[in-house]
Amino acid sequence: MSVPPRVGIVGGSIAGCAAAHVLRELDCAVTVFERNPDELRDRNYGIGIPELVRAELDAAGLVDPRLPAMLYTERVWLVRDGDRGRELWRQPFRARYHNWSLLWRALRARVDGADYRVGTQVTGVESAPGEARVVTSDGQRHPFDLVIGADGYRSVVRAVVDPAARPVYAGYGLWRGSYPIDRVADLVDRLGPVDRSFATIVLPHGHCLFVLVPDATAEHRMTWGLYYRIPGMPADPAPAELAVRRVDDELLTFLDAVVDRHFPAAYAEIIRRTERDELMVQPVFDLLAGRLVAGRVLLMGDAGAVTRPHSGAGATKALQEALALGRAWAGHQDADLDAALAEYERGRGPVARSLVELGRRIGAAQVEHTPDWPSMTPAGFTTWMDELNQHSAYSRPTPPPETAPH
């Protein structure tokens, strides 16, 4: 192309900002459309990124090497028994846990100076030979050589690539809380070395993770995530019903009963010290588009595939997709953009499918059909995990580049 290739990116979250940075480095003229008029709100929960992936991101200039992260080297599985619980298994692994908000801010800083349009509502995308057009709510049509849909699970871009793809509810949710660590300073001695190992409390048809992540204003944040059913959820909810929601009085009463019945005292107290506006619940679901590319339209991040949070691969998948597109583009820059898009599809399509399947397997084993946790031994845990991951290196001592335990 004699002029810089024009790329329109719908969605300015992690996937969109990563793609914008990578393609600007390849001299593309990038425009980002972000519908949220206040940019993106803080999301202070943790994201696990394997060390190999973090090194790849640093080398590619996607994040500042100084971006803070907590290095964890083991995961401790506990069952309710006394104040701290009874240890069932101490599982070795290595991953760095980041604060979602700090990671997004670092990526957003990488695209300062780009045409980043905040508060712009995209209503559709039109595909045409050799180009695609972004349609905005004011009726304008913006032509590009490539349009990237990085607009999440309710993507408007996906309708051009795979209109039949839809989210499928898993039958349970991820309950979350996050707040500054000083609120539970009196509990830290009771919990053990929370800066080296993160705890997993197991219960029938669920489990809950506790992990520290860096914070912008305090030293660390205590974050927790409970995988458990959501009362009142329909079996086949509409896509809008799968959005993150605040915890109302009815849900809070339900959560309190679960914590009271199944959690060791110290960990129950961590959850109870979460303030109401810090509580939320996300219905867990799968989504997998049949393809990631159609013409000059490409899907990235949750727009193309949503894997259950167990796989710890959501943000990692989006970041690696941006890097993969950059490599494909650079390799075909003097030849054919369509060849680069075909390479992206060949490389990332199978990864998306395998990660969705991985999330389903973990959900089935750790939520839907849990073992008799109290009877599990370290040897039994090892066998159980090996069987769960017979086609994946998930949760072994050094996770593969694609995933980190979550």
Question: Is pLDDT at 131 greater than 50 in this prediction?
Answer: yes
Which range is least confidently modeled, 83-97, 105-119, 352-366, 382-396?
A: 382-396
The pLDDT of residue 370 is 96
Output the six-digit token pair for 61.
């200039």
Q: Does position 272 have pLDDT exceeding 90, yes or no?
A: yes
Mean pLDDT of 19-34: 95
For 21, residues 6+ apart whose C-beta sits below 8 A from its C-beta are 61, 62, 107, 110, 111, 322
In the predicted model, is pLDDT for residue 246 greater than 70? yes
What domains can you pick out in the chain, each with its CATH number? 6-41+102-166+286-359 (3.50.50.60), 70-99+168-285+366-388 (3.30.9.60)
Contacts of residue 394, Cβ cutoff 8 Å, sequence gap at least 6: 311, 358, 362, 388, 400, 403, 405
Return the pLDDT at 134.
98
With 50 as the cut, is the pLDDT of residue 400 above it?
A: no
What pLDDT score was predicted for residue 170?
97
Helix (H), strand (E) at residue 181: none
Whether this model's pTM surpasses 0.95: no
pLDDT winner (highest mean) among 93-102, 103-112, 126-135: 126-135
The set of residues, in sequence order, having a beta carbon less than 8 Å from that of 76 and lying 6+ positions away, is 87, 89, 90, 91, 192, 197, 198, 199, 200
Give backbone dihedrals phi and psi of 9, rounded to 5 degrees, phi first.
Answer: -115, 120
* CA neighbor of 33 nearest in space, from 168, 138, 172, 160: 138
DSSP 240-261: GGGS-EE--HHHHHHHHHHHHH
> What confidence score (pLDDT) does residue 395 get?
37
Helix (H) or strand (E) holding 236: none
